[in-house]
Structure formats: structure tokens, C-alpha cells
Amino acid sequence: MRVNPEPASYPPGPLPHWVSQLGDARRGKLAGNLAAFGRALRRAGLPVDSARIALAQQAWVLTQPETRAEAAAALECVLVNRPQDIGVFREMFAAFFRDPELAQQLLARMAPQPSRPRREAPRPRAQAALAATRPPLPKPAAGDLELDAAMTASALQRLKHADFNQLGASEYHLIEQLVRQIPLSLPAVPSRRFRIGGRSRHLHWQASLRAAGARGGELIALRHRRRRPAPLPLLVLLDVSGSMERYARILLAFLHAATRRTVLRGRLQPVHRRVYAFGTGLTDLNPAFRLADTDAMLLQAAPLLHDFAGGTRLAASLATLRRQHAHHLVGRRTLVLLISDGLDTDDPAQLDHELQWLKRHVRQLLWLNPLLRFEGYAPLARGAAVLHAHADAMLAVHNVSRLQALASALAALAKQ
């Protein structure tokens, strides 16, 4: 690496094609375009703040890159700190500085649609950050290239109340990115482990005797112990049948991001969660949910769902859960989130038997039903009627605003 305290400057003459896109000291565009690139990376999910953008400018001045590869390497060193973001950064860099006619408009309009075919499959995070947020407009004539305005507040507000089943392709990908940012603060419950402190009826004799030994054997004060608070354990059962096809992917992305950790007493705490999908059978999605990246989780979960967009057999799936995974239910403290429209094809008597067993081993059963989007909905189907009789509450999850209200609903249910 060449270190030069002087500002980056290139020899007299025409600038290289890629340099004219990004800008240099002679054109005065470097700082603005790097800030625009940082905002685009932040839209794609990378943790880029103003400090990292300042580091990117310093890296450019110190390295004085002469090729596109050197520039990408210099920026990657300071703007990427997670392994799962490397591929997204490289794809964003290639697409962001590809078309010279769009370079002047990138500061205010992030996301030109790349026109050249990709050799590799596009990553969803980079594709969503670069995709247009409105339906495509007719292509303007040469020399009259203008980008439409970015997503307005009114359009975003409309999408928050739009049913997932009625979204277009571009809107669907945008909503999938929005739901990953919805926080879900789970209520705390006393765990089986104890901690020292507080007033309680349980004495901590080991701590009391250690304190007495430090004072020459005088037992001056008694130490108490109380149960440590822990996030409420979760069991998620997601319907992936044909009627739930448009909801399944968005809800998987939401559950992966929102239930991985929760804030408890000002600190991030891991959540004990178990996630299963059911259609004609039960599918264990926990190996995929252990991955930190949501895109990687979706890629690994897709081949596991052999019954995706098929029928619904909730009773048979609950029977498989009882026989093979009952040990994951934590001492009648588990909150069950059953996400389904209730259109079950199994015998209602068998479904009633399996739901009775589930209710005996969990804290509460919460039915999240997308069909509540219809005014005056009533669970008249046989499976829906049985499920409604056993559920402690029924909430709608058909749009972004309903998912945002789910956290407050869970907190209210935990106090019951």
C-alpha cells in the first residue's frame, strides 16, 4: 500500500472511465459519491455510518487506486466487517459504478437497475437495494435520461397497509426487506437459574458464608437469590400450503430477524426458539434458522420444504411434533405462534386431540391468521373452528402494520 499524505490526484489528461464515474480531487465529486455509495450499502443491510464513510475517503487518499479492482479493495477494507456482506458489497460496487450516464443522478436517486446480465445469481439484499421501488416506466430517449423520484412517504405508508397477497414483484421484495427491520421485544419470564441480589424469600447461603468469611466469620448480612429473567421461549409453526404461499417467505424473513435476539434489561439476549413448517407434513427449519444471515437462511430452507404450496394437514403435523420434538417444549413456559389460515383437511377429531396435548405442554397458543384482513371473518371451516376453540388469542399478520403491532400484543398476552 502506498501512503501519501497529499490528496489523490491523477496525471494530466483524460481520466480513466471508472475514475470519471466515482470522481477525484480535480472534479470534486469524490466525497459526495462515496457518501451516496455508503447510503446505498446501508439500504442493502450493511452497517455503514458516517464514520465508515470518512474512513473510505481516507483510504482513497492514502492508496490512490489506479484500477477499479484497487478501488474496490480499498473501500471493501473499511466498509465491510462481516463475512456475509462481502458478496453484497462487490455486487453493489459493480452495479453502482457501471453506467456513466447515471453517475450524476446517483447522489439523490440510489439504485439504478443494472442492465448487463449477471454471471452469478443476484443476492436478494443487493437486488432489493438496487431495484426500483415503483413499476418500471417507459425507457426514455437517448440524451433525455431521468430517474423517477425515490419512494415517497405516502407510497411507503400505503405499502405498510397493503396485503402481502396483493403486492407486485418489486413491492414484494421491498416489503421483505422492511419486515426484517421490525423489532419484536419478547416479554421476560423467570427462568430456572438464580442470581444474587434483590429481596426474596430464597437465601443464597454460599454467598452469605463467603461474605461472612471476609469479615472474620461474622454473619452480618444475609444474601438473597432470585430467578434470572429470560425471554419467553418460542415455538413457531408456519403454514406453507398453497393458500399461504404469498405469506410464507415474508413471514420467514420476519421471524428470522425478529426472534433471533431480544432486548432484555438493556442488553441483547438470545431467544430459545424452535421453528417448524407444516403442509402435508412437518419440516424442521431449525438448522436453517441457526444461520445469521436471513438470505442464507431462505436459500437453505427452500429445498427442505418439499410440500411448499401443497395441502394442509395440521393434525398429522402436530402428531409428528408430539412424537419427535416434544422435548423442545420448555416446562409449560413456551409460547406457540401458529401461523395459518386454518384451512385444514385432516379429521377435526384428530386435530382436537393433538391441540389438547399441545395446550397441556405450553404456556399459551396464539393463532396468527391472515384471513382476519376480511371484515366480518368467522372461523366456519372445520379445522378453523377447532383451532379457534383452543387458541388463547387470534391476531392478523397480513401486512406490515399488523406485524409491528404483534410485539405489543405479545407483551399483553404474557401478563395474563
What amino acid is encoded at 375 in this protein? Answer: E
pLDDT at 134 over 90: no
Q: How many Å apart are CA 312 and CA 242, to the nearest integer?
A: 8
Contacts with 314 (C-beta within 8 Å, 6 or more apart), sequence order: 239, 278, 340, 344, 346, 351, 354, 383, 387
pLDDT of residue 148: 40
The CA angle 172-174-179, to the nearest 5 degrees, is 95
Q: Which helix (H) or strand (E) holds 175?
A: helix 169-179
**Please, where in the chain does CATH 3.40.50.410 lie?**
232-414
Superfamily of domain 232-414: von Willebrand factor, type A domain (3.40.50.410)
Q: How far apart are the first and last CA of the chain?
A: 62
Q: How many Å apart are CA 252 and CA 17, to the nearest integer?
A: 42
Q: How many Å apart are CA 114 and CA 107, to the nearest integer?
A: 17
Judging by DSSP bridges, how do beta strands 393-395 and 364-368 pair with one another? parallel
Beta strands in 1-110 (DSSP E): none
pLDDT of residue 107: 36
pLDDT at 17 over 60: no
Q: How many Å apart are CA 301 and CA 284, to the nearest integer?
A: 9
Judging by DSSP bridges, how do beta strands 225-231 and 188-196 pair with one another? antiparallel
Of all residues in the chain, what percent carry a pLDDT higher than 70? 77
In which band, very low, low, confident or very high, does the pLDDT at 29 lie, cut at 50, 70 and 90? low
Q: How far is CA 74 from CA 63, 66, 81, 181, in A?
A: 7, 11, 13, 29
Answer for the pair 331, 352: CB distance below 8 angstroms, yes or no.
no
Buried b (16+ CB within 10 A) or exposed e, 187-216: bbbebeeeeeeeeeeeebeeebeebbeeee
pLDDT at 136 over 50: no
- Bridge-partner residues for 275, per DSSP? 236
Q: How many Å apart are CA 386 and CA 379, to the nearest integer?
A: 9
CA-CA-CA-CA torsion sign (193, 199, 201, 205): positive
Q: Cell numbers of 232, please?
A: 419467553
Residues 195-249: pLDDT tens digits?
Answer: 777 666 677 777 778 877 877 777 777 777 877 788 889 999 999 999 999 999 9
pLDDT at 44 over 50: yes
Contacts with 283 (C-beta within 8 Å, 6 or more apart), sequence order: 240, 276, 277, 304, 305, 306, 307
The CA angle 11-31-130, to the nearest 5 degrees, is 110
pLDDT of residue 164: 92
CA-CA-CA-CA torsion sign (343, 349, 355, 358): negative
Residues 143-189: pLDDT tens digits?
Answer: 333 334 344 556 778 888 899 988 888 788 889 988 998 888 887 77
Q: How many CB atoms lie within 10 A of CB 280?
A: 16
